Amino acid sequence: MNQESRMHKVVLIGAGRIGRIHAGNAARHPRLALAGIVDPVADVAAALAAEWGTTTTSVEAALAEPTIAGVIIASSTDTHLEYSLRAAAAGKAIFCEKPIDQDLARARAAGVVLSRARLLLAFNRRFDPNFRALKARLDSGVVGTLESLQITSNDPSPPPPSYVAVSGGLYKDMAIHDFDMARWLLGEEPIEVYAAGSCLVDPEIGRLGDIDTARTVLKTASGRLCVIANSRRSGFGYDQRIEAYASAGMVRADNVLESTVQTWGEGGAASDRFQNFFLARYAEAYRGEMDHFADMLDGAAASVGYADGVAALALAEAAARSLASGQPVAP
């Protein structure tokens, strides 16, 4: 297959922070051509289009254009489901940021269309090389049979209250990544969810009805357990760790440092800080998921899609119900 025949035109919907990352990765990809930018703020769309040598367009024009093979949906969460359904109806391949929606019933109702669509749901941590290596070690059986997981996900600092108010809450905005990682690594669906949470970091988050500190326990039918630790503030950087305990050992993926340089002296040894922002920590993962989208446009199946998005959302809603009731619940 020659280079020209492998080029696929894609349009980006949403020119915000994550949209800018996807725009650069699509524009630089050897099998993708960034053919347009859509954003409700015209100046923002125009600036990003100029940066990558493309044009602005509209959702309607992009979906009606037969040469557009796929759309990248990085707009606000409340538009994800609508744009995915419209893109599916137009026969486009879909790269959609998580979550698929903030309402589980609405997301499930879309299954009649989206379960058949070519849809990649952007749970980017599945594409992180460290976590992929951890899963490969588990799957190889080198440490025996998996028994339990510890997933730690702590942000460097809390988001502003204005973001919290529209985020869907800690479970749907932050922990949803961890629910997806748990499902991916456990290899079994959780049948029980128990959640506890507090507001210890920023009282304003509590006044908005959300929590900023949480512990969630997932249990599968075979008895495998996963404990997910979340905080909106670590105090020491972007804290992303996984420990997988098995019958003959453990596999661990640790934090990524800003460099491998260490300083040794009379006072002891010091290493560099953890990478302090998710866009830096997961830069390679974002490139990996865009490469997978190109594979999909070449004919490959999505490795993470609509059903995974619904399953993670179900766990998020179950955690919220458990927090409210103080009891374990079924997702």
The reply to whether 127-285+311-325 shares the fold of 4-117 is: no
Q: Is the pLDDT of residue 93 over 80?
A: yes
CATH fold, domain 4-117, is Rossmann fold (3.40.50)
- Mean pLDDT value across the chain: 95
Q: Which of 202, 199, 215, 213 is nearest to 159 (CA)?
A: 202
Over range 237-255, report the average pLDDT: 96
What element of type H or E holds 107?
Answer: helix 104-109
Q: Which of 160, 128, 57 is nearest to 292 (CA)?
A: 128
Q: Residue 4: what pLDDT? A: 44
In the CATH scheme, what is the homologous superfamily, with its name and number, of domain 127-285+311-325?
A: Dihydrodipicolinate Reductase; domain 2 (3.30.360.10)
Eight-class DSSP state of 160: P
Q: Which of 1, 96, 93, 66 is nearest to 300 (CA)?
A: 93
Q: Is the pLDDT of residue 3 over 60?
A: no
Which position has the higher pLDDT, 47 or 162? 47
Q: What is the pTM of this model?
A: 0.93
Number of C-beta neighbours around residue 246 at 10 A: 18
Domain boundaries, the chain: 4-117, 127-285+311-325
Q: What is the DSSP string of 131-157?
A: HHHHHHHHHHTTT-SEEEEEEEEE-SS
Answer for the pair 101, 80: CB distance below 8 angstroms, yes or no.
yes
Which position has the higher pLDDT, 6 or 320? 320
SS3 content of the chain, % helix, strand, coil (to 5): 40, 25, 35
Cis amide prior to 331 (ω within 30 degrees): no
Over range 304-323, report the average pLDDT: 98
Using 50, 70 and 90 to split pLDDT, how confident is the model at 1? very low
Give pLDDT tens digits for 68-92.
999 999 999 999 999 999 999 999 9
Give pLDDT tens digits for 181-215.
999 999 999 999 999 999 999 999 999 999 999 99
